[in-house]
Amino acid sequence: MFFKNIIGQQEVKERLIQTVKDGRISHAQLFFGAEGSGSLALALAYAQFINCENHTETDSCGVCPSCSKFKKLIHPDLHFVFPVVKTKKFDQPVSDNFLTEWRSYVLSNTYHNLTNWLPFLGAENQQGAIFANESQEIIKKLSLQTFEAEYKIMIIWMAEKMNIQAANKLLKIIEEPPSKTLFLLISEQSEEILKTILSRCQPVKIPKINEKDIFEHLTNVHQIPEQEARDITHLSNGNFLKTQQLLAQRNADSENPDKQYFSLFTQWMRNCYSVKIVEILKWVDEIADLGRERQKFFIEYALKMIRECFVLRLTPEINTQIGYLGKDELEFSKRFANFIHEKNITQFSNEFDNAYAHIERNGYAKIIFTDLSLKVVKLLKINN
């Protein structure tokens, strides 16, 4: 991975590069930022730059033996840990069991999230996690000497998915790693990481991608007309995965996650408003088949729509400037916003948050979404 392939984030790139030039590479660093900000890509580019045999002032050379192996993610001193799931083949899975799938996934795109990764595992209804036995594998690998490079580098992606046992086992080695060993932890929700792990890591804040950088990429690389590029940039809200979805949506035949979630949301709200119990139960069956991670993302999407409707109701005259809705979402929300107001917005938020928590704890999806649907029926009937 090259720094030049990552959109924007110039200040972060310069800061990382300077640590190498100054010989001030912290042995444990936490790259934390929102989805689509490029945290994993920056960690990969940084790792490649550190071990590059002939890097330039601003990037890896790309041609030395180290870079050639880093670009394919096959360098013997580059190690990965990431969320995995239990399968019939692996009842105590570790990341090495899925390295082929991992390389295929990471090399397919510069930007990543858990939702896009889990299908590579055939996760179905499972949630990805980093289990306790992973820690023993990390300790074993890092106890060995480096094979070729100056640094052994361990990248832990979605570090918040480490269970408590896994995190506790890593405390000592993160605090006192072997010589020339570097931990790069990557997280979208750093507040969920064990505090004793956080205290041992130097934080590297990855901000959302600057709108100017996304706009220039759209107009210069994708040749998008300026007005359309402005609209896509605004709706992306600094998340380049969202930018990619919006670009794909320009093709009517493309499969777009938000498009599916929008269809599910509108169908759900109409059934709840009309109190069509049979239709609600059919809808519950449909969403129960999505798998837990996608159910969680749907709840996040639904909560976003509810909040955007509330903002739209308060400020209809400037909704396109401050809201983050696509064309179809906006048309629906203009009508639906009448039912989201001061008397029910807090309850909507609380009920959706509770449902998310129950899904996170492996609750039975059909019961959770049936209960949530009945509560939505009541909330929609509250007079504003």
CA–CA separation, 359 vs 365, rounded Å?
A: 7
Are 117 and 19 part of one and the same domain?
A: yes
Report whether pLDDT(234) > 90. no
Are 95 and 181 part of one and the same domain?
A: yes
Q: What is the largest CA-CA distance in the chain?
A: 69
| Cβ atoms < 10 Å from Cβ of 212 | 10
Are 174 and 301 part of one and the same domain?
A: no
Q: What is the predicted pLDDT for the residue at 327?
A: 74
Q: What is the predicted pLDDT for the residue at 92?
A: 87
Query: What CATH number did the domain enclosing 10 receive?
Result: 3.40.50.300
What is the band of 56 on the pLDDT scale with cuts at 50, 70, 90?
very high
Are 32 and 164 part of one and the same domain?
A: yes
pLDDT for 78-105, tens place per residue?
999 999 988 888 888 899 999 999 999 9
Q: What is the predicted pLDDT for the residue at 228?
A: 80
User: What is the domain range of residue 239?
Assistant: 210-251
Least confident of 176-190, 202-216, 239-253, 259-273: 239-253
Percentage, residues of the chain above pLDDT 70: 93
Q: What is the predicted pLDDT for the residue at 231?
A: 78
pLDDT for 322-343, tens place per residue?
456 667 788 888 889 889 999 9
Q: Which two tokens stand for residue 382?
A: 């509250």
What is the band of 351 on the pLDDT scale with cuts at 50, 70, 90?
very high
Q: What is the predicted pLDDT for the residue at 49?
A: 95
What is the band of 289 on the pLDDT scale with cuts at 50, 70, 90?
confident
Report whether pLDDT(235) > 70. yes
Domain count, the chain: 3
End position of a domain, from candidates 206, 234, 266: 206
Are 196 and 57 part of one and the same domain?
A: yes
Report whether pLDDT(236) > 90. no
What is the chain's mean pLDDT, rounded? 88
Report whether pLDDT(76) > 80. yes
Mean of pLDDT values over 259-275: 90
End position of a domain, from candidates 220, 235, 251: 251
Are 17 and 141 part of one and the same domain?
A: yes
Q: What is the predicted pLDDT for the residue at 149?
A: 83
Give burial (CB, 10 Å; 0-12/13-18/19+) of 226.
Answer: exposed
Are 157 and 72 part of one and the same domain?
A: yes
Higher pLDDT among residues 208 and 289, named by residue:
208
CA 274 to chain centre: 35
Are 201 and 215 part of one and the same domain?
A: no
Q: What is the predicted pLDDT for the residue at 253?
A: 42
Are 284 and 354 part of one and the same domain?
A: yes
End position of a domain, from candidates 219, 251, 283: 251
Q: What is the predicted pLDDT for the residue at 317?
A: 58
pLDDT for 62-74, tens place per residue?
999 999 999 999 9
Are 146 and 226 part of one and the same domain?
A: no
Report whether pLDDT(278) > 80. yes
Q: What is the predicted pLDDT for the residue at 242?
A: 86
Q: Are 13 and 48 in contact (CB under 8 A)?
A: no
Are 7 and 148 part of one and the same domain?
A: yes
Are 131 and 187 part of one and the same domain?
A: yes
CA–CA separation, 365 vs 384, rounded Å?
A: 31
Percentage, residues of the chain above pLDDT 90: 54
Mean of pLDDT values over 131-156: 88
pLDDT for 194-232, tens place per residue?
899 999 999 999 999 999 999 999 999 988 888 888 878
| 11: phi then psi, degrees, rounded to nearest 5 | -65, -40
Q: What is the predicted pLDDT for the residue at 145?
A: 79
Report whether pLDDT(254) > 70. no
Q: What is the predicted pLDDT for the residue at 348?
A: 92
Cβ-based neighbours of 272, under 8 Å, separated by 6 or more: 280, 373, 376, 377, 380
Q: What is the predicted pLDDT for the residue at 73?
A: 95
Q: What is the predicted pLDDT for the residue at 249?
A: 66
Higher pLDDT among residues 247 and 165, named by residue:
165
Q: Are 192 and 357 in contact (CB under 8 A)?
A: no
